[in-house]
Amino acid sequence: MDESKSEFKLPGFRFHPTEEELLNFYLKKAIFGKFLRTDIIGFLNIYNHHPRELPGMAKIGEREWYFFVPRDIRHGSGGRPKRTTQNGFWKATGSDRKIVSMSDPKKMLGLKKTLVFYERRAPRPLKTDWVMNEYRLPDSCSLPKDIVLCKIYRKATSLKVLEQRAAAMEEEILKVEAPMATDAVSFCVQIDERNAVFNQENEDILEVEEKYFDATGISRERKTSPNLVLPHVKVNLAELQVPTYSMDWTQDSFWTQLCSPWLENLTTLASECAQFLNYTS
Protein backbone atom coordinates (compact mmCIF):
# COMPACT_ATOMS: atom_id res chain seq x y z
CA MET A 1 0.00 0.00 0.00
CA ASP A 2 1.19 3.53 -0.77
CA GLU A 3 2.42 5.13 2.46
CA SER A 4 1.52 8.66 1.28
CA LYS A 5 -2.13 7.71 0.79
CA SER A 6 -2.32 5.84 4.08
CA GLU A 7 -1.11 8.92 5.98
CA PHE A 8 -4.13 10.93 4.75
CA LYS A 9 -6.56 8.48 6.32
CA LEU A 10 -5.24 8.82 9.85
CA PRO A 11 -8.00 9.33 12.45
CA GLY A 12 -8.52 12.99 13.30
CA PHE A 13 -6.20 14.25 10.58
CA ARG A 14 -7.40 17.30 8.66
CA PHE A 15 -5.51 19.37 6.13
CA HIS A 16 -6.28 22.96 7.05
CA PRO A 17 -3.22 25.20 6.44
CA THR A 18 -3.18 28.92 7.07
CA GLU A 19 -2.92 31.42 4.22
CA GLU A 20 0.68 32.13 5.16
CA GLU A 21 1.49 28.40 4.95
CA LEU A 22 -0.23 28.08 1.58
CA LEU A 23 1.85 30.90 0.07
CA ASN A 24 5.18 30.67 1.80
CA PHE A 25 5.44 26.90 1.94
CA TYR A 26 3.25 24.97 -0.52
CA LEU A 27 3.01 27.42 -3.45
CA LYS A 28 6.66 28.44 -3.30
CA LYS A 29 7.86 24.85 -3.34
CA ALA A 30 5.59 24.00 -6.30
CA ILE A 31 6.78 27.01 -8.35
CA PHE A 32 10.47 26.35 -7.75
CA GLY A 33 10.13 22.57 -8.21
CA LYS A 34 10.77 21.60 -4.59
CA PHE A 35 8.10 18.92 -4.28
CA LEU A 36 7.29 17.25 -1.00
CA ARG A 37 7.67 13.56 -0.33
CA THR A 38 3.97 13.39 0.35
CA ASP A 39 2.10 14.88 -2.59
CA ILE A 40 -0.87 16.46 -0.82
CA ILE A 41 -1.90 19.09 -3.41
CA GLY A 42 -2.09 18.01 -7.02
CA PHE A 43 -1.86 19.89 -10.32
CA LEU A 44 -5.12 20.32 -12.23
CA ASN A 45 -6.58 22.77 -14.75
CA ILE A 46 -9.80 23.34 -12.84
CA TYR A 47 -11.29 25.39 -15.71
CA ASN A 48 -11.84 22.20 -17.68
CA HIS A 49 -14.35 20.96 -15.10
CA HIS A 50 -17.52 21.96 -13.31
CA PRO A 51 -16.89 22.81 -9.62
CA ARG A 52 -18.98 19.85 -8.44
CA GLU A 53 -16.50 17.52 -10.14
CA LEU A 54 -13.47 18.96 -8.31
CA PRO A 55 -13.94 17.33 -4.87
CA GLY A 56 -13.54 13.90 -6.44
CA MET A 57 -10.32 15.00 -8.17
CA ALA A 58 -8.62 16.45 -5.10
CA LYS A 59 -6.05 14.34 -3.27
CA ILE A 60 -7.30 15.40 0.13
CA GLY A 61 -10.11 17.44 1.65
CA GLU A 62 -13.59 17.12 3.10
CA ARG A 63 -14.98 20.65 2.95
CA GLU A 64 -12.10 22.43 1.21
CA TRP A 65 -10.16 21.18 -1.81
CA TYR A 66 -6.78 22.48 -2.99
CA PHE A 67 -5.18 22.50 -6.44
CA PHE A 68 -2.11 23.92 -8.14
CA VAL A 69 -3.45 25.59 -11.30
CA PRO A 70 -1.41 26.94 -14.25
CA ARG A 71 -2.70 30.35 -15.29
CA ASP A 72 -3.82 30.82 -18.90
CA ILE A 73 -3.06 34.47 -19.62
CA ARG A 74 -5.04 36.16 -22.40
CA HIS A 75 -2.70 38.45 -24.29
CA GLY A 76 -5.46 40.49 -25.94
CA SER A 77 -7.36 41.50 -22.77
CA GLY A 78 -4.84 43.37 -20.68
CA GLY A 79 -3.02 40.25 -19.54
CA ARG A 80 -5.92 38.98 -17.42
CA PRO A 81 -6.16 35.21 -16.91
CA LYS A 82 -8.88 33.19 -18.61
CA ARG A 83 -11.36 31.78 -16.11
CA THR A 84 -14.20 30.57 -18.33
CA THR A 85 -15.34 26.95 -18.35
CA GLN A 86 -17.59 24.88 -20.57
CA ASN A 87 -20.49 25.27 -18.11
CA GLY A 88 -19.94 28.86 -16.95
CA PHE A 89 -17.28 31.18 -15.57
CA TRP A 90 -15.55 32.28 -12.39
CA LYS A 91 -16.17 35.93 -11.52
CA ALA A 92 -13.99 37.93 -9.14
CA THR A 93 -15.65 39.69 -6.19
CA GLY A 94 -13.88 42.85 -5.12
CA SER A 95 -10.18 43.62 -5.37
CA ASP A 96 -7.23 41.45 -4.41
CA ARG A 97 -6.30 41.27 -0.74
CA LYS A 98 -2.69 41.33 0.43
CA ILE A 99 -1.47 38.46 2.60
CA VAL A 100 1.25 39.55 5.05
CA SER A 101 3.47 37.60 7.41
CA MET A 102 2.23 37.17 10.95
CA SER A 103 5.72 37.73 12.31
CA ASP A 104 6.47 40.72 10.09
CA PRO A 105 3.31 42.63 9.01
CA LYS A 106 5.38 44.79 6.63
CA LYS A 107 6.38 41.74 4.58
CA MET A 108 3.85 40.88 1.87
CA LEU A 109 3.76 37.16 1.08
CA GLY A 110 1.30 37.25 -1.77
CA LEU A 111 -2.21 38.13 -2.96
CA LYS A 112 -5.60 36.53 -2.52
CA LYS A 113 -8.46 36.82 -5.01
CA THR A 114 -11.96 35.57 -4.23
CA LEU A 115 -14.14 34.32 -7.09
CA VAL A 116 -17.66 32.92 -7.41
CA PHE A 117 -18.77 30.44 -10.03
CA TYR A 118 -21.66 31.38 -12.36
CA GLU A 119 -23.38 28.82 -14.52
CA ARG A 120 -24.27 29.65 -18.14
CA ARG A 121 -23.26 32.81 -19.94
CA ALA A 122 -24.41 36.41 -20.16
CA PRO A 123 -26.94 37.98 -20.27
CA ARG A 124 -28.60 35.67 -17.70
CA PRO A 125 -25.88 33.90 -15.68
CA LEU A 126 -26.89 31.90 -12.60
CA LYS A 127 -24.88 32.46 -9.43
CA THR A 128 -23.91 29.29 -7.53
CA ASP A 129 -22.60 28.50 -4.05
CA TRP A 130 -19.12 27.51 -5.28
CA VAL A 131 -16.36 29.85 -4.13
CA MET A 132 -12.63 29.87 -4.96
CA ASN A 133 -9.76 31.56 -3.16
CA GLU A 134 -6.88 32.03 -5.57
CA TYR A 135 -3.46 32.57 -3.98
CA ARG A 136 -0.47 33.85 -5.92
CA LEU A 137 2.95 35.26 -5.11
CA PRO A 138 3.56 39.01 -5.52
CA ASP A 139 3.60 40.25 -9.11
CA SER A 140 7.02 41.81 -8.52
CA CYS A 141 8.60 38.38 -8.06
CA SER A 142 10.40 36.81 -11.02
CA LEU A 143 8.97 33.29 -11.13
CA PRO A 144 9.98 30.33 -13.32
CA LYS A 145 6.35 29.16 -13.54
CA ASP A 146 3.07 31.04 -13.54
CA ILE A 147 1.21 28.87 -11.07
CA VAL A 148 -1.44 29.75 -8.50
CA LEU A 149 -2.87 27.78 -5.59
CA CYS A 150 -6.67 27.51 -5.53
CA LYS A 151 -8.86 26.55 -2.60
CA ILE A 152 -12.35 25.44 -3.62
CA TYR A 153 -15.26 25.21 -1.22
CA ARG A 154 -19.02 25.51 -1.19
CA LYS A 155 -20.55 28.33 0.78
CA ALA A 156 -23.55 27.62 2.99
CA THR A 157 -26.68 29.13 1.45
CA SER A 158 -29.53 30.56 3.50
CA LEU A 159 -33.12 29.54 2.95
CA LYS A 160 -34.00 33.05 1.75
CA VAL A 161 -31.40 32.90 -1.03
CA LEU A 162 -32.63 29.46 -2.09
CA GLU A 163 -36.21 30.76 -2.30
CA GLN A 164 -35.06 33.74 -4.38
CA ARG A 165 -33.24 31.44 -6.80
CA ALA A 166 -36.27 29.16 -7.07
CA ALA A 167 -38.49 32.19 -7.82
CA ALA A 168 -36.03 33.42 -10.46
CA MET A 169 -35.95 30.01 -12.14
CA GLU A 170 -39.76 29.84 -12.11
CA GLU A 171 -39.91 33.31 -13.69
CA GLU A 172 -37.56 32.19 -16.46
CA ILE A 173 -39.73 29.12 -17.13
CA LEU A 174 -42.85 31.29 -17.37
CA LYS A 175 -41.11 33.64 -19.81
CA VAL A 176 -40.28 30.66 -22.02
CA GLU A 177 -43.77 29.15 -21.81
CA ALA A 178 -45.63 32.45 -22.32
CA PRO A 179 -44.78 32.84 -26.06
CA MET A 180 -45.72 29.20 -26.62
CA ALA A 181 -49.13 29.74 -24.98
CA THR A 182 -49.68 32.92 -27.00
CA ASP A 183 -48.88 31.08 -30.22
CA ALA A 184 -51.32 28.32 -29.28
CA VAL A 185 -54.13 30.84 -28.58
CA SER A 186 -53.38 32.68 -31.82
CA PHE A 187 -53.51 29.40 -33.73
CA CYS A 188 -56.89 28.51 -32.18
CA VAL A 189 -58.26 31.96 -33.05
CA GLN A 190 -57.13 31.50 -36.65
CA ILE A 191 -58.82 28.09 -36.77
CA ASP A 192 -62.07 29.56 -35.39
CA GLU A 193 -61.99 32.40 -37.91
CA ARG A 194 -61.42 30.00 -40.78
CA ASN A 195 -64.28 27.77 -39.57
CA ALA A 196 -66.58 30.78 -39.36
CA VAL A 197 -65.68 31.81 -42.92
CA PHE A 198 -66.16 28.23 -44.12
CA ASN A 199 -69.59 27.95 -42.46
CA GLN A 200 -70.68 31.27 -43.94
CA GLU A 201 -69.59 30.13 -47.40
CA ASN A 202 -71.55 26.90 -46.95
CA GLU A 203 -74.64 28.85 -45.97
CA ASP A 204 -74.27 31.09 -49.03
CA ILE A 205 -73.88 28.04 -51.27
CA LEU A 206 -76.98 26.35 -49.79
CA GLU A 207 -78.97 29.53 -50.29
CA VAL A 208 -77.89 29.73 -53.92
CA GLU A 209 -78.77 26.06 -54.46
CA GLU A 210 -82.25 26.53 -52.97
CA LYS A 211 -82.94 29.46 -55.27
CA TYR A 212 -81.58 27.51 -58.22
CA PHE A 213 -83.86 24.53 -57.48
CA ASP A 214 -86.85 26.78 -57.01
CA ALA A 215 -86.08 28.61 -60.24
CA THR A 216 -85.62 25.49 -62.35
CA GLY A 217 -88.47 23.49 -60.83
CA ILE A 218 -86.29 20.50 -59.90
CA SER A 219 -88.14 18.22 -57.48
CA ARG A 220 -87.00 17.60 -53.91
CA GLU A 221 -86.16 13.98 -54.71
CA ARG A 222 -83.82 14.89 -57.55
CA LYS A 223 -81.86 17.29 -55.33
CA THR A 224 -80.17 14.35 -53.60
CA SER A 225 -79.67 12.34 -56.78
CA PRO A 226 -75.97 11.45 -57.38
CA ASN A 227 -76.45 11.89 -61.13
CA LEU A 228 -77.61 15.45 -60.76
CA VAL A 229 -74.94 17.84 -61.96
CA LEU A 230 -75.35 21.39 -60.73
CA PRO A 231 -73.89 24.39 -62.47
CA HIS A 232 -71.24 26.48 -60.78
CA VAL A 233 -73.04 27.87 -57.75
CA LYS A 234 -70.48 30.47 -56.74
CA VAL A 235 -72.46 33.39 -58.16
CA ASN A 236 -73.57 36.71 -56.88
CA LEU A 237 -76.94 36.40 -55.17
CA ALA A 238 -77.99 39.83 -56.38
CA GLU A 239 -77.42 38.81 -59.99
CA LEU A 240 -79.54 35.64 -59.73
CA GLN A 241 -82.75 36.20 -61.74
CA VAL A 242 -85.59 33.81 -61.08
CA PRO A 243 -87.74 33.27 -64.21
CA THR A 244 -91.52 33.66 -63.93
CA TYR A 245 -93.92 31.02 -65.19
CA SER A 246 -97.42 31.54 -66.60
CA MET A 247 -100.21 29.45 -65.09
CA ASP A 248 -101.95 29.16 -68.53
CA TRP A 249 -101.02 25.51 -69.36
CA THR A 250 -102.60 25.81 -72.83
CA GLN A 251 -99.72 28.06 -73.85
CA ASP A 252 -97.19 25.39 -73.06
CA SER A 253 -95.86 23.59 -76.17
CA PHE A 254 -95.75 20.18 -74.49
CA TRP A 255 -99.33 20.46 -73.22
CA THR A 256 -100.48 21.65 -76.65
CA GLN A 257 -99.12 18.46 -78.24
CA LEU A 258 -101.00 16.33 -75.72
CA CYS A 259 -104.26 18.20 -76.49
CA SER A 260 -103.97 18.05 -80.34
CA PRO A 261 -106.94 16.91 -82.54
CA TRP A 262 -104.92 13.85 -83.60
CA LEU A 263 -104.77 12.68 -80.00
CA GLU A 264 -108.54 13.31 -79.58
CA ASN A 265 -109.38 11.16 -82.67
CA LEU A 266 -107.11 8.39 -81.41
CA THR A 267 -108.82 8.45 -78.05
CA THR A 268 -112.29 8.21 -79.70
CA LEU A 269 -111.19 5.28 -81.89
CA ALA A 270 -109.84 3.40 -78.88
CA SER A 271 -113.14 3.86 -77.05
CA GLU A 272 -115.19 2.50 -79.97
CA CYS A 273 -112.94 -0.56 -80.27
CA ALA A 274 -113.42 -1.32 -76.62
CA GLN A 275 -117.21 -1.15 -76.95
CA PHE A 276 -117.15 -3.46 -79.98
CA LEU A 277 -115.08 -6.06 -78.16
CA ASN A 278 -117.39 -6.00 -75.18
CA TYR A 279 -120.42 -6.44 -77.51
CA THR A 280 -118.99 -9.39 -79.37
CA SER A 281 -117.99 -11.15 -76.19
The pTM of the full predicted model, rounded to 2 decimals, is 0.54
The pLDDT assigned to 280 comes to: 59
The pLDDT assigned to 198 comes to: 63
* Low pLDDT (below 50) residues in the chain: 1, 4, 6, 76-77, 232-240, 242, 245-246, 249
Residues in the chain, total: 281
The pLDDT assigned to 16 comes to: 84
8 Å CB contact between 35 and 29: yes
The Cα 90–Cα 127 span in angstroms is 10
The pLDDT assigned to 240 comes to: 47
Is 153 in a helix, a strand, or coil? strand
Question: Measuring CA to CA, how many Å separate 97 from each of 61, 110, 115?
Answer: 24, 9, 12
The pLDDT assigned to 248 comes to: 53
The Cα 117–Cα 127 span in angstroms is 6
The pLDDT assigned to 21 comes to: 93
